[in-house]
Amino acid sequence: MGITKQQTAANKDAIVAAADGLFRERGVDAVGLNELMGAAGLTRGGFYNHFASKDALVDSVLAKAMADGTGNLERAIAAAQARGADPLAERVDWYLSSEHRANIESGCPNASFAGDARRLDPAARNLYAEGLGDSLDRLTQTVDAADLDEDQRRARAIALFSEMVGALILSRAVADADPALSDEILDSARTDLHHRIDSAKA
């Protein structure tokens, strides 16, 4: 008896979910199909029933990860605004937290896939770039500086987000070897970013 369309879709989703976590944790090139399908609870032979190639899987993973990342950002901004809080300041606190540092498998995809992006196929590189652009568009809307025009607000958002992503990546890189340095990187970047955000409001 063949599997149902629902089960086929569920299996494909399981492959994408397993690949997403493994790619973020280990890098795309380091993950083989045997390990990937095992993590999804399936056999290697079933892979090509869902994807024509590993590149096709990577494209699906990037499309979902970047869309989910943008959606999470939008919800966080809306929640902060509903409470009357500063969404950019709250995002800095979340982004540069020890919890987010540890959550490589489901944290911000802009940071998790930054190292792999330039080595991926053109479709995946475009998906990453589009997702990053969407995040920057959303963050631009949170820059609270009445004296800046739209281009200047976007430039400010790019600079702030670049510091956030860079600090997170460096903090993760040394988290096991030098936990104190890892914390110092997060703390220093968080303090600097809050100072810059507060100064812009003055």
Clarify whether residues 8 and 79 are in a common domain: no
Q: CB atoms < 10 A from the CB of 108, how many?
A: 24
- The whole-angstrom separation of Cα 18 and Cα 89 is 32
Q: Is residue 2 very low, low, confident or very high in pLDDT (cuts 50, 70, 90)?
A: low
Residues 107, 113, 118, CA angle at the centre, nearest 5°?
A: 165
Helices 87-95 & 150-173 angle (0-180, nearest 10): 20
Quickly list H helices, 28-86: 33-39, 54-83
pTM: predicted TM-score of the whole model, two decimal places: 0.90
Question: For the chain, how many structural domains are there in total?
Answer: 2
Clarify whether residues 27 and 91 are in a common domain: no
pLDDT in tens, 44-94: 888 999 999 999 999 999 999 999 999 999 999 999 999 999 999 999 999
Q: Is the pLDDT confidence value at 200 over 80?
A: no
Clarify whether residues 42 and 59 are in a common domain: no
pLDDT in tens, 81-103: 999 999 999 999 999 999 999 99
Clarify whether residues 128 and 160 are in a common domain: yes
- Residue 46 is predicted with a pLDDT of 87
Range of the domain at 34: 1-51
Clarify whether residues 69 and 127 are in a common domain: yes
Clarify whether residues 21 and 77 are in a common domain: no
Clarify whether residues 36 and 104 are in a common domain: no
